[in-house]
Structure 1
Amino acid sequence: MPASTTRAIAVKIDQATRDRIKRLAESRDRTPHWMLKEAIGQYLEREEKREAFRQDAINAWSEYKATGMHVTADEVTTWLETWGDEAELPAPQCHK
């Protein structure tokens, strides 16, 4: 028999929170265990995306500081205003 890939952990929560989880689980025809796994999964996915976004911003700032290459907000706005038009402009090019 293969070893289990999941392991139990303990999380201490107050009784009011336990009651809320139980009520919501019952209303969704789910178990409290399912609700907790789903909540943790959604939290991790959201926070990992947030962290990736933050890292992208840090990397972009570092690249800007190193190269000085950029596009102004006005240039981007002008480009975006043409989206969907027959005369849609190409994306603005980075410059110093």
Structure 2
Amino acid sequence: MATMNSNVASTSAGTTSIKLGARKEALAQLAKHKQRTLHSLVLEAVDNYVAQEQARLEYEAQAVRSYESFQATGLHITLDELETWAKNLGTTNSPELPVCHK
């Protein structure tokens, strides 16, 4: 029975072949240096890519939702309000986030 790395999410078992070309030698050298398998490096790279792309898609979806909310309500904060708030973050008198207004 095959064991699965706990950091790897899988929806189905199976094998996918990837032609790495010249990348294979570079990966093999990295794997040897890190005392890991080439397979584990490729899985980590794929997992990182998937997580990064999922985060980007969620960020974009949130931006669309924010814009749609602004279109529907007109509520916003100005750039000046945001900059004033941001400049004071981490100071002894950190301000509250500006309240949205029309």
Given the two structures, how large is their TM-score scaled by the length of structure 1?
Answer: 0.83
When the two chains are superposed, the root-mean-square deviation of aligned CA atoms in Å is 1.9
Give the C-alpha shift of residue 74 in structure 1.
0.5
Give the C-alpha shift of residue 65 in structure 1.
1.3
Question: 2:35 matched to which residue of 1?
Answer: 29
Alpha-carbon distance in structure 2 between the residues aligned to 1:30 and 1:90:
47
Give the C-alpha shift of residue 72 in structure 1.
0.6
Question: 1:9 matched to which residue of 2?
Answer: 16
**Segments of 4+ moved more than 4 angstroms:** none
Given the two structures, how large is their TM-score scaled by the length of structure 2?
Answer: 0.79
Q: Which runs of 5+ in 2 are unaligned?
A: 5-11
Instruction: Give the share of equivalent positions with the same residue, in percent.
Output: 29
Question: 1:80 matched to which residue of 2?
Answer: 86
Give the C-alpha shift of residue 33 in structure 1.
0.5
- Higher gyration radius (CA): 1
The count of corresponding residues between Structure 1 and Structure 2 is: 92
